[in-house]
Copies of this chain bind each other. A is one copy, B any other.
Amino acid sequence: MGWLEDESGLEKCRANYVPLTPLSHLSRAGQVFPDNEALVYEDTRYNYKEYCQQVTRLASSLKQAGILPGDVVSTILPNTPPQFEAHFGVPACGAVLNTINTRLEAKTIRYIVNHAKPKLMIVDTQYLPVLQNALTHLEGPQPTIIEAHDSLSGLNPSGQYQTYDDFLNQGDVNSKWYFPEDEWESLSLNYTSGTTGQPKGVVYHHRGAYILTMGTVVSWRLTLFPKYLSIVPLFHCNGWLHPWLMPLLGGTVFCSREVSARKIFEVITTEGITHTAGAPIILNMLANATEDEKRPITNTVQVFTAGAPPAAATLKAVESLNMNVTHVYGLTETFGHVTECLWNDSQWDSQDSDAACQLKSRQGVAMPGTENVEVRHQNKRVPKDGSSLGEIFIRGNAIMKGYYRNPKATHQAFAHGLFATGDLAVQHPDSYIQIQDRSKDIIISGGENVSSVEVEGVIMKHHAVLLCAVVAKKHTKWGEVPHAFVELKPDSSALPEQIIEFCRRHLAGFKVPKSVEFTSLPKTATGKIQKFQLRKRLQ
């Protein structure tokens, strides 16, 4: 223990120990960049002074509405200003922010509300019907509803609830924010998508959010005053923490309700966007946009992608649009991204475009703030040979506190003193990891492991293919065999045999899908393909 012989008088005190919290980023921005543009949504343009005032009003109004530190405040909001304001205003009154996925059906919303027990919910007019359905047969007391209408988008107040604007107007713009007394206090509560069983409530701490935002500056090579287009829904890992990050840099956030290729190209080119982020499916949407939707991008946009391994073909297509993609990886449990496929300037710059995209499709190495990323099999690290398969384990400061009201699942996740991700990967000689599959997605055919990601990567290279998913199909002889679900590009066509033949040219025999089905693929709100739905279809 590194304590000096005499440590008297050297204890922590108020002057030298400030609990880490992303609230500090916005509070500083309000002082340091008051006039810089902070938040833009259609005709609304807030500078940092105004953004801070909105947040102060929200925190004050929540307090007046009886919200106490530790209470849960839920939102069902698209990426509009109230959702960003809630990211600061809710913790600024000491409460815990629970952003609910806007695409959920009433039943799952009811489950979450029963579990998280929010005292108050801020809900966009668009989602009132599903919420009202969810709130019937609730176990506990009904939460207070604050309605965020959006007349700019033709969503006028329903008249049933206090509006968000009225709610904020009653707030005191001179009130003081709550800052955590302990950086381990709870900041937000994010429910997993629950592909297996019920959603689990992942609890984030102030400390982790602060440290990961600082680390992201390094990884994304961010400097002051970025112009950030918000696409990742803030109900997924709090938008990978980007709402908390931007004030640190005096950046401008461009909000969006509509996520379409046309809109994205329009904002990028008219506002001079420097940074954006989205799942590979968003990149795919941009790559496959019509000429009418596209606009030429003059300054390279730096793009983070995560949520699923991006196919090399997708990366190549989107980079030709003047977007430089960095692949990052994480889970809800890891505050969004915690590894990055760090571009190795000195050694990779000479690679051709195909090779570069292959390198970029890997999950990479620990971001700053993450201490260990290990690939382990049977309690031992696998060799860095690019072929030995193991599970990814992570240790770091951007790992959840645990699952809410579920100590058993928490204990299981942390059993080895590391967080067990459930993702299967190899580690290459340069230490970069590459996911082969979710442990439940791996296909075991005749005793051989088949990575659905690898097979999908090949199918994606076929000129007619827009998207695909490969899952295990029961087989009497081999146990399991790969089965491919394929979504074709508009106006393209292909035969199952052609896809199979294409795979045969690039893959070992046991990896080639035995059957191919053309279909529209079911997706989650982040654009993850819902393989569990596809698996059900095969049962």
Q: How far is the CB of A201 from chain B (nearest CB, A)?
A: 9
User: A366 to B16, Cβ gap below 8 A?
Assistant: no
The interface-forming segment of A120-128, A413-421, A435-443, A503-511 is A413-421
Does A77 sit at the interface, judged by CB under 8 A?
no
Query: Which residues of A177-198 are within 8 A (CB) of B?
Result: 178, 180-182, 184-187, 189
User: B365 to A397, Cβ gap below 8 A?
Assistant: no
Does A42 sit at the interface, judged by CB under 8 A?
no
User: A214 to B368, Cβ gap below 8 A?
Assistant: yes
Query: Which residues of A1-31 are within 8 A (CB) of B?
Result: 1-18, 20, 24-25, 28, 31
User: A366 to B182, Cβ gap below 8 A?
Assistant: no
Interface residues on A, range: 35 or more
* CB < 8 Å neighbour of A10 from B2, B203, B211: B203
A219 (CB) vs chain B CBs: closest residue:
B224
A406 (CB) vs chain B CBs: closest residue:
B9
Chain B residues with CB under 8 A of A178? 2
Task: Please measure, in the bound complex, the distance between the C-alpha atom of A342 and the C-alpha atom of B34, giving whole angstroms.
Answer: 13
Does A396 sit at the interface, judged by CB under 8 A?
yes
Query: Which residues of A356-377 are within 8 A (CB) of B?
Result: 365-366, 368, 371
Does A166 sit at the interface, judged by CB under 8 A?
no
* CB < 8 Å neighbour of A31 from B4, B203, B365: B365
Scoring A residues 396 to 414 as 1 if CB is less than 8 Å from chain B, else 0, what string do you get? 1101111111111011011
Q: Assess A399 versus B3: contact at CB under 8 Å? Given A218-B248, A221-B223, A224-B221.
A: no
A413 (CB) vs chain B CBs: closest residue:
B15
Does A461 sit at the interface, judged by CB under 8 A?
no
Q: How far is the CB of A345 from chain B (nearest CB, A)?
A: 6
Chain B residues with CB under 8 A of A422? none
The interface-forming segment of A89-97, A147-155, A254-262, A313-321 is A89-97
